[in-house]
Structure 1
Amino acid sequence: MRLSQFFLPTLKETPSEAQIVSHRLMLRAGMVRQLTSGIYSWLPLGYRVLKKIEQIVREEQDAVGCNELLMPTIQPAELWQESGRYDDYGLEMLRITDRHDRQMLFGPTNEEAITDIFRKDVRSYKQLPQLLYHIQWKFRDEIRPRFGVMRGREFLMKDAYSFDIDYESSRHAYNKMFLAYCRTFTRLGVKAIPMVADTGPIGGDLSHEFIILADTGESEVFCDQKWLAKDLSGKGVDLNDRTALENWVQGTLVDYAATEEKHDPANSPISGDDLIATRGIEVGHIFHFGTKYSEPMGATVLGPDGKEVPVMMGSYGIGVSRLVGALIEASHDENGIIWPDAVAPYKVGLINLRTGDDECDAACEDAYAKLSNAGIEVLYDDRDIRAGGKFADMDLIGLPWQIVIGPKGLKNGVVELKNRRTGEKTEVTFEAALNQISA
């Protein structure tokens, strides 16, 4: 993409309403713009990152046997009245009345909707297990939406749901999703620590939040310092071996980690220098709640003995849009964003130091073509502005690599290659730069 043709409204000054780093940088980098309180439009640069995160989440859900579907954003109130949550959920739920005076709502989550789908089409234990998910926009009417996409009212979430015949099978589904989450966050380039958590309005007796440690996090968290060095990639774990998977999950959780609601200072097994007390950003939350929804909503199947039994259920959420902000909180410097390779909107920023110079223009066009032909996503800054502005914008938007082409380098047969994360700059031939980026 040529920057002269790309919609990238960067800002030099930080808007006054932005309180945390990710909000400031997303506004300055032209990733989002607020439409109204807590609701944002995703501009081209931000949308590219959002879609890349979404795709990684999708691939890891598919890898554990989840089936993707798509449920509506608007739900009938009667489903929530069946489950008993309509009155309990509180003012965060946006309630709507349609032209026929039917009570509707903008879904904050989808336990009721998915249970309704299940109960209409699944009759026998022989059709179990079922793992279903979608990636859809949600709405929660936060009383004080703040921190940009980190705590907005409208947000993109992946929510998955498991249905099983008994507790053992349901726990296996929970473990599979636990592993999928660990693999997802590893691919995204961040460490998200699974912490024992409160189940809140979702309900149930087993729950873990996946937390990225950050000073600007919304809640206080506590964990053993061993988590900082722990490998959470889940490599080599056999999903189909229930015992091996259970052992891996329990082995992973052997070190202490808990959210503020679950942390008991008086009885904590970790204290002193071994205990990290900091703040964290929730990017995922998984729940096992058994028959909380299946019993009141009549989601039953015929068991092996021919008797009707309510299915055991779990739900599993990842904040896709929130992750964009969380990744920035975890990876930035004084000049701007530093994207992990897997989610960077483009891999390379190509900078023409003297647009309009025939030799520079030709060299940049050649480099742009070769990068594109090699399958490398490149943003070519061909704008006729001062070099300082080009450098500042490239650092701000945080692409992993920068290739700078100017008259002086061309005379010596080299380009400048910059690694955004380390800040290291080297003068190499373009071919060498291409080989290093490709590697």
Structure 2
Amino acid sequence: MLWSQLYAPTLREDPADADAASHRLLLRGAFARQLMAGHYSLLPLGMRVHRKISGILREEMESIGGQQFVLPALHPAEIWRRTGRWEVMGEEMFRLRDRKGAELGLGMTHEEIFTTLSQELRSYRSLPQIWYQFQTKFRDEARPRSGLLRLREFTMKDSYSFDVDEAGLERSFGLHHDAYQRFFARIGLPVIPVQASSGSMGGNNSTEFMSASSAGEDLVARCPSCGYAANAEKAVAALPEIEDPAGPDAPEPFETPGVHGIEQLAETFDIPAERLIRTLVYVVDGEPVLVLLRGDHDLMEQKLSDALGAVSVRRADPEETTRALGNNAGSLGAVGVTKVRVIADEALLGRSGLTTGANTEGVHLRGVDVGRDISVAQWAPLRAVAEGEPCAECGTALEVLRTVEVGHIFKLGRKYTETMGVRVLGQDGERIAPVMGSYGIGIERAMASVVEAHHDDRGIVWPVSVAPFEVAVVVLGQGADVTRAAQDLYARLRGEGVDVLLDDRDERPGVKFRDVELIGLPCRVTVGARGLAEGRVEVTVRSTGETTTVPVDEVVGHVRSLLADLAV
């Protein structure tokens, strides 16, 4: 490719509204342009990276027996209603009606559609099956941000496995897990596989692949010793045992005029927060629920949703709180409450001598024994894990990292096949519902995450495997000998299968060098009159800045060897 013919309008300054490093550099390097919030056009350089990432992922899917499909992006509402997800997806799904009034949705994911296709499977002899596609997905993100990291329209590689039983699902899940690990290694993206919540996807087991980044919105708790790692929505940690002093035979009320909230109560009455009960009122699938935690702990809402198998979870408003408890001013508690369901965090199990609200303005209760005084309907791990808490596996202090989710694999079980009436003939002659898995990677997010992991103050530093071009041949000056030598090198490199860009523009050397560094090509070959007079050119490695003077006749071999070393 000749740079003079390439559409690559690089920018000298950072865009004002670009926050993440990948956002800034993909715009500055002419890889993408924003149309509106959450919607981006990929320019030719961006498409070259996109195509290479997709190609590597396609190779890994083919290596585990995946078969590629292309499914519609526009789905009838009726199919999503059959699985109950038309309502579950809420405002994140783009919805519309056609000219006949039929309700339609733009596909956020394709479990329902692939399951519909699986109805033509007849026998266990047809299984296992692994089906995949690269498809545009649509999600009406409330806060699209950070460029390609959080989009409302994006390309996803989603795959689906169909197996006879759970043992088969375990195999398919393992195949995808290993294929994803290889894929991320090949594109140069360090990842941490973590335990995760399945959320609206369903199923009872899932693994996320997370990449550490300051631009991330997910937190991961990781043990540096034993390797335990989990999304904050799933993470657990050990807590030191607390010996409670003997308390009274019944809770004792005491006056707390004007005191609202855990922090104020702890400070005013010198009570350690770990000896307080935090009471929250939530509306879960339309019904009020009291949520209890230790005073020094915060609720992780996804854990509450998972524990209750809920479709909808939100904090109650003041009016709803008053209807549930008769009070909403900060003296809330569960002692004596029988008409509202109570779910408590496991850190309160067996605790006594605690303090909580009395559901009366200006009054709290001390000496509360949770097992004796509160009717807990369900115990569950609900709290958010904090940095430094002991690992539940080995006791080492946990690290909490900010990350980006770059892949997610789910064991769906029979949720979709049973709901949609899919049956195959089993070995024993009985008809059975196949067991499913679902596996996704966002291509644009993977691209942006690679940039988050590989950049410096001069621009992007692409790994060789996904760089838009592997080498830039930069022409310095307009002399016939220089031009001829650069074109010859360009042709020889192309003939050896090197993906090369010839910078033949009539620009100053500084502009050319800055652009090559900005767009992040792994290797630069500089052809100038002074070097050619000695029969040499300069070869510069982008990642290290190291420059070597190489005889012209040896350049192709040197570059090929260099690229091979960089690809390791």
TM-score, scaled to structure 2: 0.71
Q: Which deviations, in whole Å up to 9, do the C-alpha atoms of 1:207-243 show, x marking residues without a partner?
A: 00001112221211122336xxxxxxxxxxxxxxxxx
CA distance in 2, matches of 1:256, 1:376: 41
Which residue does 1:392 correspond to in 2? 514
Mapping of residues 82-231 of structure 1, within 5 Å: 82-119=82-119, 121-225=120-224
Report the 3-state secondary structure (helix = DSSP H, G, I; strand = E; otherwise coil) of the residue aligned with 1:339. coil
Measure, in 2, the Cα distance between the counterparts of 1:270 and 1:290.
27
Alpha-carbon distance change, 418 to 270 in structure 1, aligned in 2, over 3 angstroms: farther
Q: Displacement of 1:324 after TM fit?
A: 0.6
Q: CA separation in 2, counterparts of 1:222 and 1:418?
A: 40
For residues 325-382 of structure 1, what are the alpha-carbon distances to aligned partners after superposition, in whole Å with 9 as ceiling and x for unaligned? 000000000000000111111010111111x212211111111111111111111111
User: What percentage of aligned pairs have identical amino acids?
Assistant: 44
In 1, the alpha carbon distance for the partners of 2:143 and 2:9 equals 27
Q: Which structure 2 residues correspond to residues 236-275 of structure 1 after superposition, within 5 A?
A: 255-266=227-238, 268-269=391-392, 275=398
Gaps of 5+ in 1: 227-253
Residue 484 of structure 2 is aligned to residue 370 of structure 1 = no
After the TM superposition, which of the residue ranges 164-173 and 107-116 deviates more from structure 2? Answer: 164-173
Partner of 1:349: 472
Structure with greater Cα Rg: 2
- CA deviation string 1:90-114 (max 9, x = no partner): 1010011111111111100000000
Aligned to 2:531: 409
Q: Could you report, residue by residue, the CA deviation over 1:253-295 in whole angstroms, capped at 9, with x for unpaired residues?
A: x721111111123352368986432111111000001011111
- Report the equivalent of 2:401: 278
1:122-142 CA distances to partner (integer Å, 9 max, x unpaired)?
121121111100011100000
**Number of equivalences:** 410
The 3 A distance-change label for structure 1 pair 69 and 430 is same
1:193: how far off?
1.4
Structure 2: which amino acid aligns with 1:51? R
Query: What letter corresponds to residue 298 of structure 1 in structure 2?
Result: G
**Residue equivalent to 2:50:** 50
Question: Which has a greater percent of helix?
Answer: 1
Amino acid at match of 2:129: Q
C-alpha distance in 1 between matches for 2:394 and 2:178: 28
Query: What is the RMSD of the two structures over their aligned residues, measured on CA atoms?
Result: 1.4
CA distance in 2, matches of 1:272, 1:180: 31
Is contact 2:423-2:433 (8 Å) kept?
yes
Cα distance in 2, alignment partners of residues 169 and 106 from structure 1: 31
State how far apart, in whole Å, the 2-side matches of 1:273 and 1:122 are: 49
TM-superposed deviation, 1:436:
2.2
User: Counterparts of 2:224 and 2:214 in 1: how far apart (Å)?
Assistant: 16
**Match for residue 360 of structure 1?**
482
Distance across 2 between alignment mates of 1:308 and 1:57: 35
Alignment CA distance shift 1:273-1:334 (3 Å)? farther
Whether the aligned pair in 1 keeps the contact of 2:238 and 2:395 (CA below 8 Å) is no
Q: Does the alignment pair 1:293 with 2:416? A: yes
**What is the DSSP-based 3-state SS (H/G/I as helix, E as strand, rest coil) of the residue aligned with 2:556?**
helix
- The 1:273–1:431 alpha-carbon spacing in structure 2 relative to 1, beyond 3 Å, is farther
Distance verdict in 2 for CA 1:41–1:426, change over 3 Å: same
